Amino acid sequence: MSKKGFTEIVAIVDRSGSMQEIRADAMGGFNAFLADQQKLPGEATMTVVLFDHEYIVLHSNVKVQDIAPLDESTYIPRGQTALYDAIGRAVNEVKGRIDGMAEADKPEGVIFAILTDGMENASAEFSKDGVTKMIAEQQKEGREFAFLAAGQDAFEIGRGIGIKQQAVANFVGSAKGVRAAFSGVSHYAAEYRSGGSRQLMANSCSMQSMVDDAMAVGVSPDDLAKEIAKEDADAEGSANKP
């Protein structure tokens, strides 16, 4: 049996050249998302992957409280967008590591959060069909995927590789847009950590609605964390009523 209440978050973040214009906000959005996850109850580790036409693992299965924020020395936009290679390599590495763990040490849940602002244009190792098959296999294991994309048809691309419609969102490729995207994925990850895929389905969570709400009112990940805590407390109170 896996370790109850233990979640691994795998953040796969685009750092291709087109992210340069929103670099500061991409860093700020990720860092707010990180701070949010650090405050939530429950045990969690995080793997952080940055990609352009190359693939860089900043952190691998590190306790979320020990993850350092992104800064100008670690987040340097450049190059092209090898999206399929980034997803494929991350899935293979995480799967291989977890498969090699003792059953009692394995995370109860794994969520892959993918954020990109550009079309796939540089993958050499993995194809769309290959990545689609890998995602389907991971979903059968109860692992979740969230896909956020800017300046493109996120639903066509995300659904095209097998990610559930409720876990796909488009965001405006602007300072406010990228922060809203991280707010949305923060809320989504928090819901997953509170109860896994069943919790997401029970609550009918929609990544797009979360991003749209954050975009409309400028909700920060910290505000969302407070909202989630209130919702959970209200739900627990209702469940405990005679």
Say whether pLDDT at 231 is over 80. no
Average pLDDT (107-112) is 96
Give the other-Cβ count within 10 Å of 217's Cβ.
Answer: 9
Say whether pLDDT at 222 is over 70. no
- Tell me how far apart the alpha carbons of residues 150 and 144 are, in angstroms, rounded to a whole number: 21
Tokens of 242: 């005679």
**Homologous superfamily of 3-240:** von Willebrand factor, type A domain (3.40.50.410)
Give the other-Cβ count within 10 Å of 207's Cβ.
Answer: 28
Say whether pLDDT at 74 is over 80. yes
Say whether pLDDT at 141 is over 90. yes
User: Which of 73-77, 177-181, 223-227 is least confident?
Assistant: 223-227
Average per-residue pLDDT in the chain? 87
- Tell me how far apart the alpha carbons of residues 228 and 132 are, in angstroms, rounded to a whole number: 31
pLDDT in tens, 81-105: 999 999 999 999 999 999 999 999 9
Residue 107 DSSP one-character state: E
pLDDT in tens, 188-198: 899 889 875 55
Find all residues with CB under 8 Å of 47, minimum gap 6, and list them: 8, 9, 10, 11, 57, 59, 60, 61, 62, 90, 93, 94
Q: Which has more pLDDT, 129 or 228?
A: 129
pLDDT in tens, 164-194: 988 898 888 888 888 889 998 998 899 889 8
Tokens of 34: 């990180």
Q: Which has more pLDDT, 230 or 56?
A: 56
Buried b (16+ CB within 10 A) or exposed e, 11-23: bbbbbbebbeebb
